[in-house]
């Protein structure tokens, strides 16, 4: 038996590529985006009552790898990329049907003529992600305080993030200096480098975050690892 799924909308995200996008939702509170509903789902009636809830479940498609197939076992980044686990024991992108699940904060709903746009935050989805369903997050049943998952029971440790003089100069020229710096700090504190990369202070990483290209490197003093943002360049 086969089923056909049609996206109800698409995401406009501050994350333009997979690299540096948070691996889980809610880790970057300032990660903002919009979900623009598509016809015939872009009728105001479809979101009537939705503002009564603070958070949403989003079912989406891993569209950038949907044609790459799936494997029985994958290498979760949380395990350093060295150990394999069954695909159903992970949230790997390469999976049967290519479906994902995310929780986001609903900030507002914009309705204008035939446009219905949900403004959300705490996003972990890249630009252009197809959304196939939207459901309200129900605290009394969805927040299972006694749930456990041995290898990912707590959030990963965050790295300290510093800004170079050059990066600081760019930040100070931005109208929302604190918000932009906090957003970049929240993203990089998650340590977005591939799990198999050792610390190499000469290696320069870069990612497009919102409307900026951000470059950084890692610093290590004994056992303490930190990140230095080297440059923040506005994208054309």
Condensed to tens digits (0 to 9), the pLDDT of residues 177-233 reads 999 999 999 999 999 988 788 888 999 999 999 999 999 999 998 889 999 999 999
Q: Which CATH class is domain 160-234?
A: alpha beta
pTM: 0.91
Residue listed under structure tokens 């009537």: 48
Residue of higher predicted confidence among 156 and 58: 58
Q: Which CATH number fits domain 9-142: 2.40.30.70, 3.30.365.10, 3.30.565.10, 2.60.34.10?
A: 2.40.30.70
pLDDT of 49: 97
Q: How far is 158 from 160, CA to CA, in rounded Å?
A: 7
Cβ contacts of 186 within 8 Å, gap of 6 or more:
27, 28, 29, 30, 31
Closest by CA to 19, choosing from 180, 196, 194, is 194
19, 198, 199, 205, 216 from 202: Cα distances, Å = 19, 11, 9, 10, 10
> Per-residue pLDDT tens for 20-69?
999 899 999 999 999 999 999 999 999 999 999 999 999 999 988 877 88
Q: Where are the beta strands (DSSP E) in 2-51?
A: 9-13, 32-37
> Could you tell me the residue ranges of all domains in the chain?
9-142, 160-234
Paired with 55 in beta bridges are: 105
Paired with 57 in beta bridges are: 103, 135
Burial of 104 (0-12, 13-18, 19+ CB in 10 A): buried
> Per-residue pLDDT tens for 113-137?
889 999 999 999 999 999 999 999 9
């Amino acid at each position: 038996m086969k089923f056909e799924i049609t996206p109800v909308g698409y995401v406009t995200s501050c994350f333009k590529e997979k690299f540096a996008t948070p691996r889980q939702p809610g880790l970057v509170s300032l990660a903002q985006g919009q979900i623009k509903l598509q016809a015939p789902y872009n009728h105001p009636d479809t979101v009537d009552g939705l503002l009564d809830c603070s958070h949403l479940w989003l079912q989406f498609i891993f569209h950038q790898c949907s044609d790459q197939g799936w494997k029985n076992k994958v290498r979760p980044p949380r395990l350093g990329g060295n150990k394999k686990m069954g695909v159903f024991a992970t949230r790997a992108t390469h999976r049967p049907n290519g479906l994902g699940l995310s929780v986001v904060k609903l900030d507002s709903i914009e309705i204008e003529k035939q446009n219905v746009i949900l403004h959300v935050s705490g996003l972990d989805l890249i630009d252009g992600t197809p959304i196939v369903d939207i459901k309200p997050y129900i605290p009394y049943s969805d927040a299972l305080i006694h749930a456990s998952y041995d290898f990912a029971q707590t959030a990963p440790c965050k790295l300290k993030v510093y800004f170079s003089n050059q990066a600081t100069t760019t930040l100070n020229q931005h109208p929302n200096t604190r918000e932009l710096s906090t957003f970049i700090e929240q993203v990089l504190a998650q340590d977005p480098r591939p799990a198999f990369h050792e610390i190499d202070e000469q290696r320069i990483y870069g990612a497009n975050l919102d409307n900026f290209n951000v470059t950084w490197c890692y610093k290590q003093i004994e056992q303490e690892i930190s990140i230095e943002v080297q440059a923040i360049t506005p994208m054309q």
